[in-house]
Amino acid sequence: MENFEFCNPTKIIFGKGILDRLGDEVRALGEKCILVTGKKSARETGVYNQVKSKLKEAGIEVLDLSGVQSNPVLSKVHEGIGMARKEGVSFLVALGGGSVMDTAKAVAAGALYDGDIWEVFEGKGEITGALPVVCIPTLAASGSEMNGFMVITNEESGYKLAAGSPHTYPRISFLAPELTFTVPRDYTAYGGVDAICHVLEPYFNGPDPFTPVQDEIAEGLIRTLMPATKRCMEEPENYQQRAALMWAATLALNGLTRAGVGDHPFPVHLIEHSLSAIYGIPHGAGLAALLPGWMKWKATLKGAKKVAWFGIRCLGCTDKGNEKDTALEAADAFGRWLSKVECPRSLSELDIPEKDHEKIAQNALFQSRIWGIENDYNENVIKEILSFCQ
């Protein structure tokens, strides 16, 4: 195990009927908030009105920042920052998926940042404070409800970049599995794939220290996420399956599985951010298209041990006597599972042609530099990975 720090102060309130506690829990945060929402689903399901009423009943003035899109954009963040500053709001409530939560965090940090918050995403500035954020996720996927990360797309430059800070952990997150009953089949699957990828990247990409605690937790989360994703597609109103998917997705990126595994890049997320920035595809679909190829690239060129373990411990693969063959079988088995949950398992399935690899690699390289991993993930390596994913 490598040295680590772990501190996750987010308060989780999980279960049925929990929104009744919203007013009591957030009253101490101030008298004026911004309610951040997406395009329409929270309004259609009625939860938008429910949340707004609870806040107003608690004596809180509510301003709206609505219309946040998938792959959320910087202009919306700027709009929110302007509103927060002009109106002197005390906190934000994010009601939606990862895009909404990430937008709220970026507004919360940006409102107190001296300059354009995009500087932070480009690695040219640091978050030194943020307004409190309360999350009410309506999708099990990003884990944003219990971490300090946010991912924003600058629609002018065409880059989708991540930032994070101890200041942008949500103060409280209300995890109500019933709010995810209306998530459609495809986004249920994309969410499950996103959470699985959050677990797999540190699991596969660390420096191979001895980390039995972290490996057990990672494998346990994946063994939960895979069947729960499928069951939630088949039975969208199965509370227990939605609850398992939601809590596992939250724990998948709350720092627990990463603590002690050493430095690890997130190359699949790195490359996927380029895919969704360029093609506007859902994040989970992009990850699905990359994961089997990335596992094959790992197995072939970078050490197959953990991919083989993943196959044996999570997918029921048999040990083929050598790590590489077992790992390649794991990549195939995971690809077959992706097909079962109706996700793409290659770039071809997303109609992304081989000739685009250059463009994708250039975009990804920009992030690679910001993340400081351009030595390991340079243009050639990214193209090499893409060739396995084609």
- From the list 47, 244, 261, 386, which residue makes contact with a copy of itself (rule: CB under 8 A)? 244
The minimum distance between CB 177 and a copy of itself, in angstroms, equals 8
Amino acid at position 37, single letter: T
CB of 220 to a copy of itself, least distance (A): 3
Helix (H, G, I), strand (E, B) or coil at 175: strand
Stretch that binds a copy of itself, among 100-108, 126-134, 244-252, 298-306 (CB under 8 A): 244-252
Tokens 């934000």 map to which residue?
92
Mapped onto helix, strand or coil, the DSSP state of residue 285 is: helix
Residues 183-212 interacting with a copy of itself (rule: CB under 8 A): 209-212
CA 110/CA 114 separation, integer angstroms = 8
In the complex, what is the shortest distance from the CB of residue 178 to a copy of itself, in angstroms, rounded to a whole number? 12
How many residues touch a copy of itself (CB under 8 A)?
A: 41
- The window from 149-157, 256-264, 362-370, 376-384 that contacts a copy of itself (CB under 8 A) reads 256-264
Annotate 111-164 with DSSP letters as a single string: TT-SS-THHHHTTS--------EEEEESSSSS-GGGSSEEEEEETTTTEEEEEE
Q: Which is nearer to a copy of itself, 223 or 320 (CB)?
A: 223
Tell me if 8 contacts a copy of itself by CB under 8 A. Answer: yes
In contact, 203 and 217? CB cutoff 8 Å? no
Q: Starting from the edge strand earliest in sequence, which strands make up the sheet with 61-65, in order?
A: 61-65, 32-37, 91-96, 133-137, 172-175
End-to-end Cα, the chain, rounded Å: 35
Binding-site member from 84, 133, 221, 232 for a copy of itself (CB under 8 A): 221
CB 194: neighbour CB atoms within 10 A? 29
Nearest to a copy of itself of 71, 224 (CB atom): 224
Question: Contact between 314 and a copy of itself (CB under 8 A)?
Answer: no
- From the list 8-16, 120-128, 194-202, 279-287, the region that binds a copy of itself by CB under 8 A is 8-16
Applying CB under 8 A, the residues found at the interface with a copy of itself are 1-18, 177, 209-213, 216-217, 219-221, 223-224, 228, 240, 243-244, 247-248, 251, 256, 259-260
